[in-house]
Amino acid sequence: MSLQNQTILITGASRGLGAAIATQCVAAGAKIILHYGANAKAAQALQHKLGAAVLGCLQEDLRQPGAGMRLWENATEMAGPIHALVNNAGIDPPSPLSGDIAPWRQSWADNLAVNLMAPAELSRCAVGDFRSLGGGTIVNIASRAGERGDDIDHDAYAAAKGAILAHTRTLARALAHENILCYAIAPGWIDTDMAPKGGPKLDLALREIPLGKMATPDEIAALAVFLLSGACPSATGATFDVNGASYVR
């Protein structure tokens, strides 16, 4: 798949899935802008590794109001026209029903800010620019949790991821005639730092995956590159499940 002549903004790109997507986009010929929330050292190391294809690293705390718009404006000022957006950044702080109300409220606010509002704001900015470019592509990294739900302590996370799926479908339906394509990828467990590494939690995670293993970041990155390549525009609006058959619809 070729991404020649594309400039792509990737959020949450300092490590894990975001770094894998960035690496494969560069391998396919793209120029990229790396966003990171806090880990400047990792983002800069990735920039050094990938070389001149990285047009820059931008920091933005996506929990803050207006962060998506600031990030887009800074990215376009740095790199010029952007042809595609990968909304990968995500958090999953627990939102348990028991205990004090204050941390529950904060978890909901943070989950919605990072997992929904920032991607939606970035997409809004992207669509405005894509219209002047004659089209563009948005890939939203959602979650299996947004389709089937999650455990009771991660209600806010599941709700935000479910909303980003609806957002993706709405944009796809409304904008396809303008050559603006929108896709969602909904992984289950991914073998990254955020996944359980051992003990009962890992055993439980693997028992529910018929394939018997977690997805790798490279698997999901390869799918993202395929979608960004424009090889199958008729799939706009679709959600791609990558979960080892742990959730089949």
Which residues are catalytically annotated? 157
Distance between CA atoms of 225 and 219, rounded to whole angstroms? 10
Cβ–Cβ < 8 Å for 38, 16: no
31 exposed, middle or buried (CB, 10 Å; 0-12, 13-18, 19+)?
buried
94 exposed, middle or buried (CB, 10 Å; 0-12, 13-18, 19+)?
middle
Identify whether the C-beta of residue 118 lies closer than 8 Å to the C-beta of residue 85.
no
CB 62 within 8 A of CB 112: no
Q: Which residues contact 49 (CB under 8 A, 6 or more apart)?
A: 23
Question: CA 30: distance to chain centroid?
Answer: 17
Q: H helices of 176-208, where?
A: 199-207
